[in-house]
Structure 1
Amino acid sequence: MVGGGVGGMVSALLLARSGHEVTLLERLPRLGGKLAEHRRDGFRFSLGPSLLTLPGVFRDLGVGRELVEVRELCRYRFADGSVLTAHRDPDRMAREVERLAPGEGARWLAFHAWARRCLSASARTFFAGPLDRPPRAAHLSDLLAVAPGRTLAGLARRFFRDPRLRQYVNRYATYAGSDPYRAPAALGCVPAIEHDHGAWYVPGGLPRLAGDLAALLAEAGVEVRVSAPVDAIVADRRRVGGVRLADGERIAADVVVANTDAAELYGRLLPDRHRLRRVAALGRSSSAFLLLAGVEGRTEGLAHHSILFSADQRAEFDALFRRRTPSTDPTVYVGCASVDDPSQAPAGTEALTLLVNVPARDPSRWPAPPESYRDLVLERLAERGLDLAGRLRFVDLFTPADLRGRYGAWGGAIYGTAYSGPLSPFRRPANRGPRRGLYLVGGSAHPGGGLPLVAMGGRIVASMVDEDFPTGKAAS
């Protein structure tokens, strides 16, 4: 197992439980991949996912940690100053939508019903297994349930007349690092996940999940080696034979699961120009610019999760995906885990994670340095009602260059490739590699990024290995 992110850990765990001998190699000194945290002066910040959805995916693996359901899914503030509070209960959410935009409450219920049908169809098809295996429980109607040929922005226009609600729907494209004006409508199934299954927080921070999975790996007998960077995957033209570590050590194996960025796999670990070009043709997902702020005092009424929207969403995404430059009027996510977990900051303070979507490219090629963009983001926050002037103890930055350097992410892209076009979900790098015994798992491979999806990918890959190499006939 090359890489100890969530997808790799899940695959390793399930393969060990089914009787395979598994060695997991991670180049960092810890497991968990993007389930990481930053600490400073008693403040703690999650660098990766900010919430957990579909917690049953992890319960089924044996993770028994107690979770906290957040009181509000999210609080959205629009450029005109209006606010939409997203409640888990669909009827309550519809009433909130009706309050914001009279006449749209019933439309939101119709949208949610569509999202449920889309999610059910996706569970039977896209999430059910690898793309090269026909789904066993698919229905003919599943094809129409995902609104084929329609973009997410087109879906928003279909259901809503109010531009603020269209902006709210389009935001779901960023969950996959994509442009809603090009991403498929199927990303609109996310509200069914949030409203039907809830949004959850892990006390102590989401990185605690990595420790839980590591404990399960130990129980299952997986050999884990951290600070063990892999330099190459050893293979001939037909099959893999193991890996070579950076220090020259060779480990023989019949199966190699690459929990790495697909561009890293085909560009360095097992060079393949044809497949690398195919990955490049899909285009990079967006990256992230994080401001990790230690803040004096507590912000009255602040939610755990807030979105402060830009005034012109179309211009914002044009900047990200066409001009490939940070937007001067960005949407800002504000995460305050201190709302539900006082351990994340010293008494009388709060730890704020401010996230802006930016292009996956070196910040040295931005029009202005990251420090200048930090100042712009703080100015935009103040204009939208969250003025942190005089309250900041510090602001630490995390840029696409950090994502690239820490995780080998292609240009700092969070999700590998973007969803661009109606067939883009089916064009992502497949779980089966070009050599016998080579498999891909993680956010850049099928079925995609985000905690539940990479865990599903781990289960998919484990099932493929079990089928191809019955227990006792492979070491991975």
Structure 2
Amino acid sequence: MADVAVIGAGMGGLAAAARLAHAGHAVTVFEAAPTYGGKLGVTRLGEFTFDTGPSLLTLPHVYRDLFAETGGDLDEHVDIVPVDPLCHYRFPDGSVLDLPHAEHEVAPALAAALGPDAGEQWTRLMSRGRRLWDLVGEPVLHRPLNGVPDLLRHSRNVRDLLAIAPWRTLRGAGRGLADPRLRMLLDRYATYTGSDPRRVPALMTVVPYIEQHHGGWYVQGGLRRLADALHAHCRELGVRFHFAAPVTGIDTDGRGVRGLRVAGESVPADIVVSDADAHHLHRDLLTDPRAARARRALARTQPSLSGFVLLLALRGTTTPRRHHRVLFPADYDAEFDAVFGQRPRPVDDPTVYACSPDDPTVAPPGHEAWFVLVNAPRHGPVDWDAPGLAEDYADKVLAVLAARGLDVRDRVLHRAIRTPADWERDTGSVGGSLYGSSSNGARAALLRPANRSRVPGLFLVGGSAHPGGGLPLVALSAAIVARLIGPA
């Protein structure tokens, strides 16, 4: 039995803690925040409850497997329900699309909303997504990946590698879509990893395929309930937790990890699993020279975009009710230029994403709880703490909503603002980047920091490590690490 210290109680850290405790190790989690869940947070304004992180669960079987393989049953703790339609899209010309939950209904819905050729073109693209998922789903996402040689070994032949085509971009993959609205819809999936569609590999076409083939799901009461269930399960497995306990360093010697420094005190450990942002880990916590190569690689990557969020407690209800809405701007490229360009700045005419669950547990009867997000550059390049900036930009976002047909300004009972500076303070992510490293470029997308560090005894999970960000992938990173460490 090893003494395992986990840095961070985000979903990756919790998943790793559960698996390692079930395998017989003594597991202790140290979390800088006063609670668990990481970016899967929750905020309450009076009688209104808001998820402040992910609002859609894909691949729910990943968490069902996690519970089942560690002696639990996820469905005893949470009620996972389909989101239908998956999303309501409004395009710059005023046309709209309700994307269905059921895969077989997607092409007819596209044809009805965007024209008879749209469904056929999208279906061809999703066939490519299915082929890519067959190539990377099991071989890449479920296994350790440590550099180009591993990627080549996992590719069964040259044809497979050519199909993955890491040099091709998502934007390039969308050139076969004749309708600019279809191309805009495809581009949006780059933001699922906080990235730029003009730079993210075409491999990202697996994301809409996964969403449509496996469906999009919601947890009644909010996705935070998923974190509640996993934290409770960890406790049942004997995991110990220390909250408001920031780790300030990792102690190593010639043999590898010796332990952590927490609040100035040394805590011995045989194994350390880091759920911290990889940039933060290598910049602030780890000085061991064996990590120099990973540090240099991270210096070449670009952190993901961040988000500017409004939490709106609204009187009355919106007709028709839609769980997810995406309202596109006239110039999508201008948004990515503002976020990822040489001179980052708040987006002048942003895409607006709104989540308003039809869930009686998150708002009083006859009212709605809206989570409104726009893509934003990180804190640092933009000083989101500058006096007046956040309030002025919040007013601008509400005005953009109104201009696109959703004027809720006279319905606001309470509002709260979350800026990239808040995300950085609350989660420790660099500049408040929502997904750790972006997937801008083939190396960043496919060769994230390895789960096994070059420092013996140090392992990485979470969104900034392989296989990437998002609720399913961080749980898969924990499964990889648990297999690498093995049973007690």
- What TM-score do the two structures reach when normalised by structure 1? 0.94
- 8 A Cα contact 1:124 1:137, kept in partner: no
Would you say how many aligned residue pairs link Structure 1 and Structure 2? Answer: 464
Alpha-carbon offset, residue 145 of structure 1: 3.1
Q: Which residue of 2 aligns with 1:224?
A: 241
- 8 A Cα contact 2:351 2:374, kept in partner: yes
Is structure 2 residue 63 aligned with structure 1 residue 72? no
Is structure 2 residue 163 aligned with structure 1 residue 145? yes
- 8 A Cα contact 1:90 1:109, kept in partner: no
For structure 2, which runs of at least 5 residues remain unmatched after alignment?
A: 1-5, 68-73
Deviations 1:34-80 (A, max 9, x none): 11100011011101101111000011122222211111111110011
For 2:377 and 2:299, the matched residues in 1 are separated by 15
Q: Which residue of 1 aligns with 2:197?
A: 180
Q: Which residue of 1 aligns with 2:21?
A: 16
Counting only pairs closer than 5 Å after superposition, residues 8-407 of structure 1 correspond to structure 2 as 8-62=13-67, 63-64=74-75, 65-99=78-112, 100-132=114-146, 134=150, 138-140=155-157, 141-158=159-176, 160-246=177-263, 248-271=264-287, 275-322=294-341, 323-337=343-357, 339=358, 341-362=359-380, 363-364=382-383, 369-407=389-427
Amino acid at match of 2:426: R
Q: Secondary structure at the match of 1:161?
A: coil
Amino acid at match of 1:280: A
Is structure 2 residue 466 aligned with structure 1 residue 446? yes
Alpha-carbon offset, residue 381 of structure 1: 0.6
For 2:443 and 2:274, the matched residues in 1 are separated by 24
Q: Which runs of 4+ in 1 moved over 3 A?
A: 133-138, 271-277, 365-368
For 2:392 and 2:261, the matched residues in 1 are separated by 42
For 1:325 and 1:282, the matched residues in 2 are separated by 20
- 8 A Cα contact 2:384 2:419, kept in partner: no
Q: Secondary structure at the match of 2:373?
A: strand
Describe the shift of the 1:92–1:365 C-alpha distance in structure 2 as closer, same or farther (beyond 3 A).
closer
Q: Secondary structure at the match of 1:60?
A: helix
For structure 1, which runs of at least 5 residues remain unmatched after alignment?
A: none
Q: Secondary structure at the match of 1:376?
A: helix
- 8 A Cα contact 2:132 2:203, kept in partner: yes
For 1:138 and 1:315, the matched residues in 2 are separated by 36
Q: Secondary structure at the match of 1:104?
A: helix
Alpha-carbon offset, residue 237 of structure 1: 4.3
- 8 A Cα contact 1:326 1:366, kept in partner: no
For 1:197 and 1:365, the matched residues in 2 are separated by 37
Is structure 2 residue 416 aligned with structure 1 residue 416? no
Alpha-carbon offset, residue 436 of structure 1: 0.4
Deviations 1:60-109 (A, max 9, x none): 12222221111111111001110011113333211121121232221111
User: For structure 1, which segment, 35-44 or 144-153, has the greater mean C-alpha deviation from structure 2 after superposition?
Assistant: 144-153
User: For structure 1, which segment, 124-133 or 277-286, has the greater mean C-alpha deviation from structure 2 after superposition?
Assistant: 124-133
Alpha-carbon offset, residue 438 of structure 1: 0.5
Describe the shift of the 1:129–1:211 C-alpha distance in structure 2 as closer, same or farther (beyond 3 A).
same
For 1:365 and 1:9, the matched residues in 2 are separated by 30
- 8 A Cα contact 1:53 1:200, kept in partner: yes
- 8 A Cα contact 1:237 1:435, kept in partner: no
- 8 A Cα contact 2:439 2:445, kept in partner: yes
Amino acid at match of 1:114: R
Q: Secondary structure at the match of 2:310?
A: strand
For 2:188 and 2:464, the matched residues in 1 are separated by 20
User: For structure 1, which segment, 437-446 or 427-436, has the greater mean C-alpha deviation from structure 2 after superposition?
Assistant: 427-436
Amino acid at match of 2:329: S
